[in-house]
Amino acid sequence: MNTNTFTLAEKLRALRRQAGITQEQAAGHCGISLRSYKSYELNQTRPRYDEIYERLATLYNVPADYLRYDHITQAGLPEAKDADAKQLIAAARALFAGAHLTDADRDAIFLALTDAYKNADGKKHQ
């Protein structure tokens, strides 16, 4: 295996851990059995239907093709190095994956984070 590619199982485990959810929660969100979800993470089977890839992609906020094909990576998405930054990113992903937020709430969170970024250290970023 190329060191720059990851199996569906590896991707799902990493994404689920980043989101801070259990396998049972992931399965429930996607409308599949826990047994099916576990088999994906154990690299025993892959989803048979495109709809399952779409549900998984929605849950983890990634393109469905990223999950469908091992050679596709999330290139261009930098990984945080700071522990606090990693924790904030994981919490944000879990919050957005919950699907209980309204569009207005999602927009408010985005704008607040953008404003905090732009005003960090008193510097304006363009």
How do residues 41-86 score in pLDDT, each as one tens digit?
A: 999 999 999 999 999 999 998 888 889 888 776 644 556 777 888 7
pLDDT at 123 over 60: no
In angstroms, the CA 112 to CA 115 distance is 5
4 pLDDT band, cuts 50/70/90, is: low
